[in-house]
Amino acid sequence: MRLRSFRALTYVLAVGLVLNGCGVNKIPTLDEQVKAAWSEVLNQYQRRADLIPNLVETVKGYAHQEQQVLTQVTEARAKATSMQLPADILSNPQAFHQFEQNQAAVGGALGRLLAVSEAYPALKSDQNFLALQSQLEGTENRIAVSRRDYNEAIKKYNTDVELFPKNIAASIFNFKRDDAYFKTSEEEKKTPQVKF
- Interval 165-196: pLDDT, tens: 787 878 887 888 887 888 766 655 454 443 43
- In sequence order, the 6+-apart residues with CB closer than 8 A to the CB of 30 are 153, 156, 157, 160
Distance (Å, rounded) from C-alpha 185 to C-alpha 183?
6
Mean pLDDT of 126-136: 86
Label residue 147 by pLDDT band (50, 70, 90).
very high
Q: What is the pLDDT of residue 178?
A: 83
Cα 11 to Cα 41: distance, rounded to the nearest angstrom? 45
Q: Where are the domains of the chain?
A: 2-189
Q: Say what the pLDDT of residue 193 is.
A: 46
Q: CATH 1.20.1440.20: does it fit domain 2-189?
A: yes
Q: What is the pLDDT of residues 17-62, one digit of tens each?
A: 555 555 667 888 888 899 999 999 999 999 999 988 888 888 887 7
Nearest to 185 by CA among 135, 147, 150: 147
CB atoms within 10 A of CB 164: 8
- Give percent above pLDDT 90 in the chain: 18
Give me the pLDDT at residue 150, please.
93
Place 121 in a pLDDT band, splitting at 50, 70 and 90: confident
Distinct helix (H) and strand (E) counts, the chain: 8, 0
The torsion angle over the Cα atoms of residues 146, 151, 154 and 160, rounded to 10 degrees, is: -120
- pLDDT above 90: residue 1: no
The mean predicted confidence, pLDDT, of the chain is: 81
Instruction: For 14, list phi and psi in degrees, rounded to 5.
Output: -65, -45
Say how many C-beta atoms besides its own lie within 10 A of residue 5's C-beta.
9
Other beta carbons less than 10 A from residue 151's beta carbon? 17
How far lies 74's CA from each of 45, 55, 58, 128, 133, in Å? Answer: 15, 10, 13, 19, 16
pLDDT of residue 192: 45
Angle between helices 93-116 and 26-60 (to 10 degrees): 30
For residue 53, the surrounding DSSP H or E stretch is helix 26-60
Within 10 angstroms of residue 115's Cβ, the number of other Cβ atoms is 14
Q: What is the mean pLDDT of residues 8-13?
A: 64
Quote helix, strand, coil % in the chain, to nearest 5: 80, 0, 20
